[in-house]
Amino acid sequence: MTSTHKSRRIWFCQTEYVAQHPESLQKLKDAVGLTTIMPESPVCHTSGFSASAELAKRGPFEDWRQRLDAWPRGAEGIYPPVAGIISGFDDAPLQRVIEACKSTGIEVWGHIGLWSYGGEVYPEFALRDLEGRPLDRRYQEWGIGLCPSRKAVNEWTRDCLVEAIQHYAIDGFDVDHARYPAPANVHSLIACGCANCQDEAVRLGYDFAAMRRGVLALRQRLAQLTLAEVRALVAGRPSLMDFLGLLAQDGSVLDWVQFRAHILAERMREFRAAVQEAGGRDKVFGSDVFPASTGLLGGHWYGKWEEATDFLTGGSSHGGVVGWATGVTNLAREWTAALCRHAQGLDESEVLSLVWRMFGVEDLDLPETAAGVAEGPLPIAALYEREVA
């Protein structure tokens, strides 16, 4: 089937750099056929939007400068990576970028963040696990996320998008952090279980109580896993879904994984509808996603995402939190360590071997210990090729 989408070559760039070097746009257009940019300021974590007084008055994150104990970088003037648009940022660099793009014939896709970070700064809006607990800070490098079911926060975020599409001459949005924390954050996999998410489960037709029972039973079963069972599982060459099917009591665990992703797709659908109602149907709306191997665990149900957005993009070909090449290796390190902490008598190398098999990379030259995964080197090119194959 032939795609109906226009082919684009996109640069995820720094707003301040392009504002200072507008000539880079024409150079890249001539050299590689650049069509579109997605500018982001590393200071405010949006494209550099300002916010109206009305939005600022309603904004849930305006007091970030008073939370330096939770966000020390605020002392340097760096905004926390939360949802929406926080006020007080000078949008002059962004306006220069937009003007330069207009004169060069290049599209501008706006950038804001959503849910995968910020919970450590705003615990009152953060994810809670199925027992009502905040996420374990040992996994903070992968994100302490915000709950995606807070109505007031979501409505304010929607209005931020609407204001930006009306005020700035941009061609749409590529929103960031439109996900849960990376699946390497083991604790986040059993979040969010707050009252708001329970209400969403009812609205979307899920049995929250059954999902909760099933997920907590799986956690208990994993804590009882024996070395003999690990070896038997490795011999059976299970996929992730096979593994869950063998250990879970029923389909409630898969329901849980899908429910978490369904919530995010619903929010994206609502945001796109608002943007296009305000700015026109030609204003595109989408995001980057985790790779297919880990996507559902991180909140990306590809089928629902395609229905809710105009496009989706992949992550980078290198490492990091959302790098497609290291999504599996990041979670393998954390999952292996967690299993070995909670289940007695397991062998780390054999647990890691099981994880490699579950994600279909056991044939690659990968480390045999969690420390080895952290230290590297890793077959980055081969891992990336496996994700995009």
Q: Note whether residue 26 is domain-resident.
A: no
Domain contains 21:
no
Q: Give the model confidence (pLDDT) of 5-27 as tens digits.
A: 788 999 999 999 999 999 999 99
Alpha carbons 335 and 359: distance in angstroms, whole number = 12
Angle 89-95-96 from CA coordinates, rounded to 5°: 120
3 pLDDT higher than 60: no
Domain carrying residue 303: 51-88+112-388
User: Is 0.85 surpassed by the pTM of this model?
Assistant: yes
Chain segment 79-115, per-residue pLDDT in tens = 999 999 999 999 999 999 999 999 999 999 999 999 9
The pLDDT score that the predictor gives to residue 4 is 65
Residue 20 belongs to some domain of the structure: no
**Spatial separation of the C-alpha atoms in residues 306 and 292, rounded to whole Å:** 13
Pick the range with the lowest mean pLDDT from 6-10, 217-221, 297-301. 6-10
- For residue 2, pLDDT over 60 is answered with no
**Percent of residues, the chain, with pLDDT higher than 90:** 92
Summarize the confidence of residues 384-388 as an average pLDDT: 93
Residue 155 belongs to a domain: yes
Hunting for tokens 């279980």 — which residue is that? Answer: 193
The count of domains in the chain is 1
- The DSSP secondary-structure symbol of 176 reads B
Question: Six-digit token pair at 65?
Answer: 């400068």
Q: How many CB atoms lie within 10 A of CB 214?
A: 21
Assess whether pLDDT exceeds 70 at residue 1. Answer: no
Encoding tokens for residue 384?
């990336």
Tens of pLDDT along 167-191?
A: 999 999 999 999 999 999 999 999 9
Residue 334 neighbours by CB distance under 10 Å: 24
Cα angle 161-13-272, degrees, rounded to a multiple of 5: 25
Instruction: Let me know if residue 70 belongs to a domain.
Output: yes
Give the number of other Cβ atoms within 10 Å of residue 136's Cβ: 14
- 320 domain-assigned: yes
The answer to whether residue 165 is domain-embedded is yes
pLDDT tens for residues 125-169? 999 999 999 999 999 999 999 999 999 999 999 999 999 999 999
Task: Calculate mean pLDDT across residues 209-228.
Answer: 96
Q: Does the pLDDT at position 329 exceed 60? A: yes
Identify whether 303 is part of a domain.
yes
Q: Is the pLDDT of residue 75 over 90?
A: yes
Residue 43, SS3 per DSSP? coil
Beta strands 107-110; 36-40: pairing state: parallel
Question: Contact at 8 Å (CB) between 310 and 4?
Answer: no
Contacts of 215 (CB under 8 A, 6+ apart): 130, 190, 252, 253, 256
- Helix segments in the chain, DSSP class H: 15-20, 23-32, 53-58, 92-104, 151-167, 195-204, 208-223, 227-236, 240-247, 252-279, 302-308, 327-342, 348-358, 370-375, 380-388
Name 338's Cβ contacts closer than 8 Å, sequence gap at least 6. 186
